[in-house]
Amino acid sequence: IPPDLVSISDYERYARHFIRDDIWAYISGGAADEHTLAENLQSFARQPIYNRVLSDFSTANTRTRILGYELDSPLLLAPVAHQRLLHPYGEIATAQAAAAMNVPLIVSTLSSVALEQIAQHAGQWWFQLYWQPQREDNQTLLRRAIQADARAIVITLDAPVSGVRNRAQRAGFRLPDGVREENLVEFATSVNTAAEGESVIFKHFMKQRPSLDDLKWLREQTSLPLLAKGISHPEDAKALQEIGFDGLIISNHGGRTLDGVPATLSLLPAIRIAVGKDMTLLMDSGIRRGTDVVKALAAGADAVCIGRPQLWSLAVAGALGVAHMLRIFQEELEMAMALTGCATIDAISQDVFADRF
């Protein structure tokens, strides 16, 4: 690792040299005019916090409990698709780093290595489900994940269609030969079900997303903790809580689906009020610093998920890079807690904010 690679933005800067242009456009880009992509970062930058100087740090630690699991830190790796675009070992390298650093990994349905293979290298891992049009295919994926010791299931709901990905389109991005969605190869390729002249978005993609009944059905399929990812409205959060979801990931998909969705930092307080203190709330989209983790927790999250930084670090240095990136987050989180006077995760509250939302 070069000596001037000391922050997450340094990984982004270095990664640019290791990643070809169309892949860079795909992973870095957001939807449409990328307002949400920019806002995710700016919301953290704009939020001032206090430096507190009198707290007792004799028993300070970053440990926390999420959905019954003891974690060293409120950090998880977000589900990120197609990681062999960045490194020949792809998700295997990420899983090795996550295991070495004792950080839970959320494996994407769209992983470029089969989930069973990833699981062999992983520590604690969770499975992210993209709903498949046939219920039995979801059952197959769940069965495979549970068999391979997944410890929680996350269904992503904010991307029934992938959004207007102009940056990736302009760069002509396509999955290259040799990078496949390995978990899905046995399922029939989805055939466009819109009739001639009908909207493919309304009549095909939106027909294939999970209905509320499908989500209730999914709840009945597993006793593992079940989370929904991509939630931005308090009413959706409440409705999912009512049908038995254990947790939510407040996310705008890294600004990649609907441009104009507010930054997740600003969504957290209202969602926390809507679901109460006992519902597990994770968040992603724009975490780049230890201080961002403190701000997210102060705004109502229980833990955060890290997305793009895992791709940048994977591209730069494989498993070593991802482990180093996680180390940077851990050290910056400790530094941020030390300087905001929060000796434990429970001590982080809206009181750290120098200027309330």
Q: Which of residues 56-85 bind ligand HOC (CB under 6 A)?
A: 81
Q: How far is the CB of 277 from ligand HOC (least distance, A)?
A: 30
Q: How far is the CB of 357 from ligand HOC (least distance, A)?
A: 27
Query: What gap in Å lies between CA 342 and CA 230, rounded to an integer?
Result: 29
Among 256, 272, 289, 295, binds ligand HOC (CB under 6 A): 256
Q: Which is nearer to ligand HOC, 218 or 343 (CB)?
A: 218
Q: Which is nearer to ligand HOC, 1 or 171 (CB)?
A: 171
Query: What gap in Å lies between CA 235 and CA 78, rounded to an integer?
Result: 24
Q: Which is nearer to ligand HOC, 38 or 159 (CB)?
A: 159
Q: Give catalytic status of residue 204 as yes or no.
A: no
Establish if 204 lies at the interface with ligand HOC (CB under 6 A). Answer: no
Give the dihedral sign, CA 136/139/145/146: negative
The token duo for 1 is: 């690792």
CB atoms inside a 10 Å sphere around CB 147: 11
Q: Which of residues 104-123 bind ligand HOC (CB under 6 A)?
A: 110
Which position among 87, 121, 204, 253 bears the catalytic label?
253
Query: What gap in Å lies between CA 43 and CA 266, rounded to an integer?
Result: 7
Q: Which is nearer to ligand HOC, 110 or 150 (CB)?
A: 110
Q: Which is nearer to ligand HOC, 161 or 171 (CB)?
A: 161
Q: How far is the CB of 68 from ligand HOC (least distance, A)?
A: 27
Q: How far is the CB of 344 from ligand HOC (least distance, A)?
A: 33
Of 101, 50, 87, 80, nearest to 354 (Cα)? 50
Q: How far is the CB of 19 from ligand HOC (least distance, A)?
A: 15
Query: How many residues belong to the site for ligand HOC (CB under 6 A)?
Result: 7
Binding mask 138-177 for ligand HOC (x = CB under 6 A): ---------------------x-xx---------------
Query: What gap in Å lies between CA 178 and CA 146, rounded to an integer?
Result: 27
Q: How far is the CB of 159 from ligand HOC (least distance, A)?
A: 4
H helix runs in 20-170, sequence order = 21-28, 35-46, 91-101, 115-121, 135-147, 166-170
The token duo for 61 is: 């630690």
Establish if 253 lies at the interface with ligand HOC (CB under 6 A). Answer: yes
Of 357, 297, 286, 283, nearest to 333 (Cα)? 297
Query: What gap in Å lies between CA 188 and CA 161, rounded to an integer?
Result: 19
Query: What gap in Å lies between CA 309 and CA 53, rounded to an integer?
Result: 31
Strands of the chain (E only): list them: 64-66, 69-71, 75-77, 105-108, 125-129, 153-156, 226-231, 247-250, 280-283, 303-306
Q: Which of residues 80-99 bind ligand HOC (CB under 6 A)?
A: 81
> Which residue's beta carbon is nearest to the bound ligand HOC?
162
Q: Which is nearer to ligand HOC, 161 or 338 (CB)?
A: 161
Annotated catalytic sites, by residue? 253
Chain residues binding ligand HOC by CB under 6 A are: 81, 110, 159, 161-162, 253, 256
